[in-house]
């Protein structure tokens, strides 16, 4: 469901192509989402939360592609992202299973020898999402950046720069997850000691997952490597079969992919090289911060504690959302819907209906008393009423 919006925008390209402003809004929101979620993912400690914000960031990448008219590139990244992100989430589940439910990366470390199959398969996913060739993520991500750079959008170069910075951040926080989870000294026994208990979190309790969990990881690891080969561009010696496959869908759109201007392969290769160097830079920074000098990141956080807490708390978006949307909605539902509508109108109408029914039934009960003299009296009253109507009613009608 999270990728349904990408499909919808791409499938409705004939509408979006007729509104450059709408496409521009899509591209800007996509780029902003990509870098915003990447910032949050850089400082999260829960292994699944890092991957969750990574998913948000990659969705921003796909919307960025659609916003610059590169619908094929967006769908292509949706395809490759399915491979390596499914692998990463399942591999994270395998890590959590190995640690008997632990998800905090601060309590991990040194796992690569203890769960080698999980380690190697997850490594394939990390390298793929980082955009290292020839893994799948490189080709789709490079296609998006190239289309953004060469698009007709006036903000094309700026969107490309945001996408490139996001690519470096993605490489950094994914290798951060990789180093903190699998390398360094094991922090599981220390965490158990701090909590004053020893249980399966201790290093001697770490165990590899069963093959029913590992087999899907192996399959997805293979797809994370070769899944992008269906979209190798001509500049890199391929035929971009993905573009040919989707051509009947997008050939009518005035997109960046069908533009008449021819861009040299040299520019595409240059941009690809810049993308790879950016991913490599993210790896190097993560290597220095979390492997070579593990205390570097903590020292930097202490120098700017306010900024670090601001990002760690997700820019307080959840709190703002609670204050601006959830609280007013709760007040509206409790005061208006529950108090006035439900309590006053609905319950009041029900109470009025019940009271009316009880009154009419009481009157009817009095009339149907079972007393013969009472019935005779009602009959006499009824007959008198009929006579009055017949006599005086006719006179009034004639006048």
Half-sphere exposure of 135 (CA within 13 A, CB side): 23
Please tell me the predicted confidence (pLDDT) of residue 351. Answer: 84
Q: Transcribe 276-293 into DSSP letters.
A: HHHHHHHHHHHHIIIIIS
Q: Which residue has the tokens 């956080």?
A: 301
The Cα–Cα gap between 131 and 145 comes to 11
Please tell me the predicted confidence (pLDDT) of residue 254. Answer: 43
Kind plus residue range of the DSSP H or E element containing 360: helix 347-367
Structure tokens at 109: 């470390």
Please tell me the predicted confidence (pLDDT) of residue 260. Answer: 37
Please tell me the predicted confidence (pLDDT) of residue 263. Answer: 59
pTM, entire model: 0.79
Please tell me the predicted confidence (pLDDT) of residue 189. Answer: 62
| Domain layout of the chain by residue ranges | 4-312, 373-399
pLDDT tens track for 168-177: 999 999 999 9
Return averaged pLDDT per consecutive 10 residues of the chain, 399 residues in all: 90 91 95 95 94 96 94 95 96 93 90 93 96 94 94 92 96 95 78 47 71 96 95 87 89 48 76 95 94 86 88 89 92 86 83 85 73 79 86 65
pLDDT tens track for 270-311: 999 999 999 999 999 999 999 988 888 888 888 888 888 888
The Cα–Cα gap between 115 and 98 comes to 8
Kind plus residue range of the DSSP H or E element containing 193: helix 188-194
User: Residue 59: which of 32, 39, 99 has the closest Cα?
Assistant: 32
Please tell me the predicted confidence (pLDDT) of residue 396. Answer: 59
Distances (CA, A) of 34 to 58, 63, 165, 393: 6, 9, 10, 85
């Amino acid at each position: 469901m999270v990728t349904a919006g990408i499909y919808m925008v791409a499938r409705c390209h004939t509408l979006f192509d007729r509104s450059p402003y709408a496409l521009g809004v899509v591209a800007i929101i996509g780029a902003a989402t990509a870098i915003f979620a990447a910032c949050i993912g850089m400082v999260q400690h829960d292994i699944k939360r890092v991957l969750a914000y990574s998913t948000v960031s990659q969705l921003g990448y796909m919307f960025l592609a659609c916003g610059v008219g590169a619908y094929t590139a967006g769908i292509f990244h949706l395809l490759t992202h399915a491979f390596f992100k499914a692998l990463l989430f399942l591999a994270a589940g395998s890590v959590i299973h190995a640690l008997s439910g632990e998800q905090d990366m601060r309590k991990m470390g040194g796992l690569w020898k203890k769960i080698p199959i999980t380690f190697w398969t997850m490594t394939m996913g990390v390298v793929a999402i980082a955009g290292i060739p020839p893994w799948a993520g490189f080709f789709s991500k490079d296609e998006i950046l190239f289309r953004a750079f060469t698009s007709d959008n006036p903000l094309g170069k700026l969107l490309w720069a945001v996408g490139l910075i996001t690519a470096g951040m993605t490489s950094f926080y994914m290798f951060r997850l990789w180093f903190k989870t699998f390398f360094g000294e094991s922090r599981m026994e220390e965490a158990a000691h701090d909590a004053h208990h020893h249980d399966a979190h201790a290093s001697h309790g770490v165990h590899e997952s069963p093959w029913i969990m590992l087999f899907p990881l192996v399959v997805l690891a293979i797809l994370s490597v070769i899944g992008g080969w269906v979209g190798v561009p001509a500049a890199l010696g391929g035929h971009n079969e993905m573009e040919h496959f989707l051509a009947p869908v997008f050939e009518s759109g005035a997109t960046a992919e069908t533009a008449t201007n021819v861009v040299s392969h040299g520019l595409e290769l240059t941009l690809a090289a810049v993308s790879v160097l950016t991913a490599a830079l993210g790896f190097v920074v993560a290597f220095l911060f979390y492997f070579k000098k593990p205390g570097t990141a903590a020292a930097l956080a202490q120098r700017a504690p306010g900024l670090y807490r601001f990002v760690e708390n997700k820019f307080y978006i959840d709190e703002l959302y609670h204050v601006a949307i959830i609280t007013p909605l709760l007040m509206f539902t409790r005061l208006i819907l529950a108090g006035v509508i439900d309590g006053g109108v609905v319950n009041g109408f029900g109470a009025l209906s019940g009271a009316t029914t009880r009154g009419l039934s009481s009157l009817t009960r009095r009339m149907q008393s079972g007393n013969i003299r009472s019935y005779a009296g009602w009959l006499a009253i009824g007959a008198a009423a009929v006579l009055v109507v017949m006599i005086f009613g006719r006179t009034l009608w004639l006048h």
